[in-house]
Amino acid sequence: MPDFPILDGKRILLVIAGGIAAYKSLELIRRLREQGCGVRCVLSEGGARFVTPLTVAALSEDKVYHDLWSLTDESEMGHIRLSREADLVVVAPATADLLAKMATGLADDLASTTLLATDKPVLVAPAMNSLMWAHPATQTNIAVLAGRGVRRIGPNAGSLACGETGTGRMAEPAEILAAIAAVLDPLARGEGPEPLRGRRVLVTSGPTIEPIDPVRYITNRSSGRQGHAIARGLARLGAHTILVTGPTAEPDPPGTHVIRIETADQMLAACQASLPVDVAVCAAAVADWRVRNVAGQKLKKDQGEMPILELVENPDILATLSKAGPHRPGLVVGFAAETQRVLEHAQAKLARKACDWIVANNVGPGTGTFGGERNTVHLLRATAEGGLASVEDWPLLSKVSVGERLATAIADHVAGTPRAVS
Ligand code: C5P
């Protein structure tokens, strides 16, 4: 799970309204607690029908509030204090009913009263049937709330609890967590120095998948975690960040423009369409080969012989972007995932690909880098002639921290250079 250092010590007031997605809010509470966040929960009357106050209290390790008229709660806490002691109010799931109450200023229970009385930022994660979501009444309410500065994550498209398919699924706990971190982060909110504001950056991430036939494909073990963390780090410093990614389970990094592709050819096309950029970081594990003749129909076992897959080399995206030309990014950063003689191979790669920096790491057995949370990397910089200018050895860091540190190094490098797009 990604690290969000910004969440450590923060206080979230989580309002759980009455939707089937309330079960996902239990996971959200756990994740927030793991990040060091204090979580206090308000259950609406409907919410308390989907998850029990006891479960919510146990997970949040705090008292749960659900009754506006409880004298003890009012004397101990009061709905005004309840909503003001938090750093952020999160409504998950936000039902059509509660969103309507928020938009019109109704306050007839503890959840709606708390939301009307708060002076803190509010993030809603809507969840409802797709027709309810698409209804002009709901869309008007959402627009009204957005105009008042209420933030929103989701809803996502997919299968819904009512058996239908469409837009209305509550965002996943990991996505809500990332959105909470983004709202609380002063840099992401544009309140701090943003050394990369006005810069366009491109990041590739994840694996590519290369089809064999309509149901089978060749791929690799890349999780996309490091590439996504780099995109997140760059966006945090204000860069207009385009993330071209193969299929991964990672949530979209806040503030980035995500382009999803499957094959290396598609990744190259998406990268080229994104030019010009100031910086390109190629962190994707692009499949080296693809199948020459992809079968139009599923290959059958019973056709006698075993199929022979003829492979052809995929385009090298990093080398293509590094080629001199009017659209060459001012800084091109590649990765070298090696299992032995890491620095030696990385240095050779720096020259062969003609990129400016290489982030080298050891992905050998036992390092836990592939799919893991942490990474030990070395940053190699090239001279103008392609030789080795310097090597920095970074300590063992979380992938999120590697992303932030690389983004800072990039910001230092591009400072004062002309912009790709002015
Ligand atoms: O050649 P190798 O795969 O070892 O190089 C790794 C670096 O090159 C990474 O930065 C990776 O994103 C990039 N690469 C690429 N396109 C390929 C192969 C690798 O962009 N086809």
Pair 258, 241: CB distance under 8 Å: no
Which is the catalytic residue, given 41, 162, 271, 355? Answer: 162
pLDDT (tens digit per residue) in 70-90: 655 665 557 677 878 899 999
pLDDT (tens digit per residue) in 231-274: 999 998 999 999 999 999 999 998 899 999 999 999 999 999 99
**Across all residues in the chain, what is the average pLDDT?**
91
Query: Whose CA is closest to atom 2 on ligand 1?
Result: 336
Instruction: Ligand 1: list residues with CB < 6 Å.
Output: 204, 264, 282-284, 286, 314, 316-318, 334-336, 349
* pLDDT score of 77: 59
pTM greater than the 0.95 cutoff: no
CA 399 to chain centre: 13
How many angstroms separate the alpha carbon of residue 336 from the centre of ligand 1?
Answer: 8
* pLDDT score of 191: 62
How many angstroms separate the alpha carbon of residue 241 from the centre of ligand 1?
Answer: 20
* pLDDT score of 350: 94
Atom of ligand 1 nearest to the CA of 336: 6
- The pLDDT of residue 9 is above 90: no
Atom of ligand 1 nearest to the CA of 313: 21
42 forms beta bridges with 15, 65
How many angstroms separate the alpha carbon of residue 25 from the centre of ligand 1?
Answer: 39
CA distance readout (Å), 35 to 2, 7, 64, 286, 398? 9, 6, 20, 32, 14
Q: Hey, is 166 helix, strand or coil?
A: strand
The share of the chain scoring above pLDDT 90, in percent, equals 73
In angstroms, the CA 87 to CA 93 distance is 19
In angstroms, the CA 354 to CA 372 distance is 29
Return the best residue to mutate from 220, 281, 316, 331 for the ligand 1 pocket (most ligand atoms within 8 A of CB).
316
pLDDT interval class at 193 (50, 70, 90): confident
User: pLDDT higher for 67 or 115?
Assistant: 115
pLDDT interval class at 56 (50, 70, 90): very high
How many angstroms separate the alpha carbon of residue 288 from the centre of ligand 1?
Answer: 8
* pLDDT score of 421: 79
Query: Whose CA is closest to atom 9 on ligand 1?
Result: 335
In angstroms, the CA 356 to CA 330 distance is 9
What average pLDDT score do residues 392-402 get? 88
* pLDDT score of 422: 67
- DSSP H or E run through 125: strand 122-126
Q: Domain residues of the chain, as ranges? A: 5-184, 200-414
For the chain, the distance separating the N- and C-terminal CA atoms, rounded to the nearest angstrom, is: 37
CATH topology of domain 200-414: Rossmann fold (3.40.50)
Residue 282 annotated to the active site: no
**Which CATH homologous superfamily contains domain 5-184?**
Flavin prenyltransferase-like (3.40.50.1950)
What average pLDDT score do residues 146-165 get? 88
